Structure 1
Amino acid sequence: MMLSIKKLFAGLFLLGFIGSTLQAQISPPGLGDANTAFWGAFGVKRQLDSLGKKQALSYIAIGRKSSPDDHNLFSKQAIIVLNHEVYHSFAPHQQYSYAISYRRQPQYENTAPYDKENMEQEFRIYGRYAYTFDLGQKWKLKNTVRQEFRKFFDADFHQVEEDFQFRTRIKSQLTYNLSPKNNQKLALSAEALFSISHLNEPGPHWGSFGYREMRIAAYYMFTIPNSPFTVDVGYMDDLIRDSRSIHHGGVHYLAADLIWNIPYRKR
């Protein structure tokens, strides 16, 4: 089974490298240490003005992951996410956005049978700035800086070990317009994550700021003919610093999302 999963991931990676770019794909979040994981999302993307410079993307998503000793990417519930983000292309090649997000994530024991230990809730706000370079008629390179504030609670809104966190994400994404038919695109991206946390235990104190993760992803995107829907299918490798999975090539994700595109309507 492990060999077949590796073949599937390798195929998705090569597909992503050959083909298209990411427009509004919903990238997976980190789901912690595991072997494999699945991420699925449904989003609604709305045009907010007649010029197409302002957009909003709202989505609901779920994540599942394997146990540390197997490779079944649907084995355990990993996360539920509600997210709303507003984008503004305020100048040629430049865009900023801001967002609010709620996440509910089970925590599991570190030893077999890896039963659920508790539930963690997260409230997140973030903003990002992106600059896009046109590299000829078919290629684009988008560089993004994203700053996040993350606040954590248990299931009853009591404090947990990690109080809150500031996290910086730096991402580069190369996109290729594969074909105008069904707006097919391929995208390849790499993202580095740095953070610092305020901790509640063993007493209130700050951790150290540093590099935490690298996420490498490849996506194929297309529009469903005669419909307002776009589909994004991809692979992500999450390389978590000092994790068990880092010794086995990281956490391997299969990801898919469906986005309903709603055009601007004058009220």
Structure 2
Amino acid sequence: MRIQTTITKTLFLFFAFNMGSLHTIQAQLSPPGLGKTKRAFWSAVGIKRKLDSVGKKETMTYFGLGRKSDPDHSRLLENQAILVFNHEVYRNFAPNQQYSYAVSYRRQDNYETKAPYRFEGIEQEFRVYGRYAYTLRLGDQWKWKNTARQEFRKFYTADFSKADENFQFRTRLKTQLTYTLPTKTKQALALSAEGLFAVSRYNGGDKKWSKLAYKEARLGVYYLLQIPRTPLSMDIGYVNNLIKGYHAAKSGVHYLAVDLIWTIPYRR
């Protein structure tokens, strides 16, 4: 038994009663890739902080936890999958335009690819990325947001030795359509589609580069809610992760995602 198992179970019980989302009703904390599995669960708690009085600058810091089933079972919470710590800075620099930059640490559990899918080891990742987003408003209730995100990912084993994959450059292109519901409280529905493309450098004798290639697609639908009379917002979503070459899950890996965000207003 690993100490991490006890820690993650405790964190999961905490999240199960404190889930929700990220922005006031503008976005959600999308789950990371949780590998080749059948079902997965993602949750995160975070703090969004306003940095000015006009709403042009803000930060988002969150801690997330993922669990997953074995590839041939549907037990959603069976195995620990990932721990994530992420910090991102946003700036709205022009009408409808935004850029952001972030640093992230991820600790992912790997398992054997064949039954009984025993625990194989830990992979650690340090990530930096930049993001550009353009939002087109279609009337009072519709919003169409398109995002380009470039990542640099560096990998290590559990003891910070060299991993098989040294580092990776990954490009993510995402489009999302959001409909604000005509209710007294702030509620919305969001549909999204994202494609991921990557090129990697590997450790080893020849240290070769891989070819730049399409890796996966993530299709999502989310319900977003600003909790009345509180600084909290939440979202509940479903994501279908279509992984290239993963024929065991022809219909994709199915994620349930629930997140909670506390917004701190600007103070001088």
Residues 22, 186 of structure 1: 8 Å contact kept: no
Residue 267 of structure 2 is matched in structure 1 by: 265
Q: 2:207 aligned with 1:224, yes or no?
A: no
Match among 143, 147, 153 for residue 144 of structure 1: 147
Residue 237 of structure 1 is matched in structure 2 by: 240
Match among 183, 187, 210 for residue 186 of structure 2: 183
Q: For 1:161, what is the secondary structure of its paired residue? A: strand
Backbone CA RMSD of aligned residues:
1.2
Match among 20, 33, 46 for residue 43 of structure 1: 46
Gaps of 5+ in 2: 1-23
Q: Which amino acid aligns with 2:166?
A: D
CA deviations 1:47-68 (Å, max 9, x no partner) are 0101101010000000001101
Q: Which amino acid aligns with 1:251?
A: V
Residues 25, 226 of structure 2: 8 Å contact kept: no
Cα shift at 1:73:
1.2
Residues 22, 175 of structure 1: 8 Å contact kept: no
Q: TM-score, normalised by structure 2?
A: 0.89
Q: 2:104 aligned with 1:106, yes or no?
A: no
Q: 2:102 aligned with 1:131, yes or no?
A: no
Q: Which amino acid aligns with 1:110?
A: T
Residues 22, 187 of structure 1: 8 Å contact kept: no
CA deviations 1:51-91 (Å, max 9, x no partner) are 10101000000000110110011110000000000000000
Query: How many percent identity over aligned positions?
Result: 58
Q: TM-score, normalised by structure 1?
A: 0.90
CA distance in 1, matches of 2:206, 2:157: 18
Q: For 1:33, what is the secondary structure of its paired residue? A: coil
4+ aligned runs moved over 2 Å, structure 1:
179-182
CA distance in 1, matches of 2:266, 2:50: 5
Residue 66 of structure 2 is matched in structure 1 by: 63
Q: Which amino acid aligns with 1:153?
A: Y
Cα shift at 1:35:
0.6
Q: Which amino acid aligns with 2:100?
A: S
Q: Which amino acid aligns with 1:257?
A: D
Residue 254 of structure 2 is matched in structure 1 by: 252
Cα shift at 1:22:
5.8
Q: For 2:181, what is the secondary structure of its paired residue? A: strand
Gaps of 5+ in 1: 1-20
In structure 2, the CA distance between the partners of 1:153 and 1:68, relative to structure 1 (3 Å rule), is same
In the comparison of the two structures, how many residue pairs are matched? 245
Q: 2:58 aligned with 1:74, yes or no?
A: no
Cα shift at 1:201:
3.3
